[in-house]
Chains A and B, each alone.
Chain A
Amino acid sequence: MSILSKFAPLRQTYEQLRAAGQNPFEMVFDGMLSPTEGLYRGRRTILLGTNNYLGLTFDADCIQESVEALHLQGTGTTGSRIANGSYDGHRKLEHALAEFLGRRHCMVFSTGYQANLGMLSTLAGKGDYLLLDADSHASIYDGARLGHAEVVRFRHNDPDDLHKRLRRLANEPGSKLVVVEGIYSMLGDAAPLREIAQVKREMGAWLMVDEAHSLGVLGDHGRGLAEHTGTEADVDFVVGTFSKSLGSVGGFCVSDLEDFDVLRVACRPYMFTASLPPAVMASTLAALRRLQESPELRTRLADNAGRLYYGLRDLGFAVGPQASPIVSVALPEAPLAVEFWNRLLEGGLYLNLALPPATPTQQPLLRSSVSAVHTTQQIDRALQLFELVGRQLGVLPALAGARRQRVAPKAAAPVHADVALIASAGGTR
């Protein structure tokens, strides 16, 4: 028996996905043409699932400053932030983020995943409690598992349920840290942060918001859901990532808490990994500047998001609860979703496919993420393709006069594998 035998059911799922056409979890792009277009098997393909909210991956200033840093400081730091791996660029970016978010302190991590891993496992220790929204991202669950705090889930976006669970802990002496996300990565819904902040105040808990999908997206200045809802004073810790609106890679946490810096020598996912390369710090710093100088990007993003969301909704697709740059269409079953996804790709449109149990509603999702730099034509082309494939596969009713053709999915993908299956970034649990 192989050490990998336990993965037999997963392997089976994986192979059935392959049989259906392109396996969504094995996508390889031949090249990138722009933030919204890639080459896939030699074809120009619209990218509608890249979390590239502001489209800054090809920004001229970001590239130039990154190239300069690369020439001046080399390809990598080859060391930890607490050894040889802290350069001027890391400190500059930390100061810039703290200033932008109006906080005293900032720590930069090598990914957003590690920021959550580090903050959750270090802030909440033995005897403390972590209260996690049930639909939290995998990095939040993993951070909770890495630490020694007691972990309690509350119902998704339900402040009353959170209140009830905190009340049950009222006599426990440990600190309680509530963790929510600005925009949830699967359905694009935002946390009811005002109500959650009120519960947090009333019950004497701490509050952390992961603004991974809302930084640069929400708020008049792009500071995220906390700015948008006027709750920044109640949010004790903001975590975020550079891998979405800032177009690079990395993560951070900001706070006003006195002594926050002690975490630099206590937080293992911060200490025991190499720091980000100088070129990444330089492009991220330039992107943060662009984010602040170009509020029109957020307006365009919101317009594009609305165009896609209401377009799909009006066609009759089951979209998420609110318009946001994450627009997900729920389909009844996995084989149909895999077939739908493949047909969109054949038509020249890439987006993410998420399969249960990685999805909050136990339904497969076709997950789009919209960018400020998508053209109207690209969004409309996506809508056209959705409509075409939707009618071909019987997800939408056939048009009057047209012959209804319910196409049988090519292969069945079992959905029992107990693993988070999500193409590209942004899975839960």
Chain B
Amino acid sequence: MNETLQNTQAEIIEGLRETLRKPVTLDGSTHIVRDLQLDSLAVMDFIMSLEDRFDVVIPLDRVAEVETLADLARVVDQLRGRT
């Protein structure tokens, strides 16, 4: 994992901690729906907050196949590289 990807993942985890407001262990292997029990709306709202955190656009279809936080970090990292 390169450095920017690592940073992206760390920032996503930080954002998620702020959103969840409850203590949980989070790492790249955390499964977003299964482990965190977020419904589809909560996931979409979290994505919206990440768009602001990274100042990027994260189209919803890009996150359709995301399962873990590492998957999400890769998608966001790609989109950050685009601008």
Contact = CB atoms under 8 A, between A and B. Distances in A.
A416 B61 contact: no
Interface string A142-159: 001000001111110000
Interface in A37-78: none
Given A134-B48, A153-B48, A155-B48, A168 B57 contact: yes
B41 A429 contact: yes
Contacts of A357: 39-42
Nearest to A169: B57
Contact of B44 (A134, A150, A165, A168): A134
B14 interface: no
A154 B48 CA distance: 8
25 contacts: A129-B57, A129-B59, A134-B48, A144-B60, A150-B59, A150-B61, A150-B62, A151-B59, A151-B61, A152-B51, A152-B57, A153-B44, A153-B48, A155-B48, A165-B51, A165-B57, A168-B56, A168-B57, A169-B57, A357-B40, A357-B42, A416-B37, A416-B39, A429-B40, A429-B41
A154 B52 CA distance: 11
Interface in B54-68: 55-62
Interface string B10-51: 000000000000000000000000000101111011001001
Contacts, number: 44
Interface string A114-149: 000000000000000100001000000000100000
A153 B41 CA distance: 11
Interface residues of B, number: 19
Given A134-B48, A357-B40, A429-B41, A153 B60 contact: yes
A137 to B, nearest CB: 14
Given A357-B39, A418-B39, A418-B40, A134 B45 contact: yes
B28 to A, nearest CB: 24
Nearest to B48: A153
Contacts of A154: 48
Contacts of B42: 357
A246 to B, nearest CB: 31
Given A150-B61, A151-B59, A152-B58, 20 more contacts: A129-B57, A134-B45, A150-B59, A150-B60, A151-B61, A152-B51, A152-B60, A153-B44, A153-B48, A153-B60, A155-B48, A165-B51, A168-B51, A168-B55, A168-B56, A168-B83, A171-B83, A357-B41, A357-B42, A429-B41
Contacts of A134: 44-45, 48
Interface of B: 37, 39-42, 44-45, 48, 51-52, 55-62, 83
Contacts of B52: 164
A154 B44 CA distance: 11
A144, A153, A357 interface centre (most CB from chain B within 10 Å): A153
A421 to B, nearest CB: 11
A165 B57 CA distance: 7
Contacts of B62: 150
Contacts of A171: 83
A168 B54 CA distance: 11
Nearest to A151: B60
Please name the 5 residue pairs, one residue from A and one from B, whose CB atoms are nearest each other, closest first.
A150-B59, A151-B60, A418-B39, A357-B41, A168-B57
A184 B39 CA distance: 22
Contacts of B40: 357, 418, 429
A169 B55 CA distance: 11
A168 B52 CA distance: 10
B38 to A, nearest CB: 9
A426 to B, nearest CB: 17
B43 to A, nearest CB: 10
B40 to A, nearest CB: 6
A418 B44 CA distance: 13
Contacts of A418: 39-40
Contacts of A152: 51, 57-60
Nearest to B58: A152
Nearest to A168: B57
Contacts of B39: 357, 416, 418
Nearest to A131: B57
Nearest to B57: A168
Nearest to A360: B41
Among A129, A150, A169, A416: residue with most chain B CB under 10 A: A150
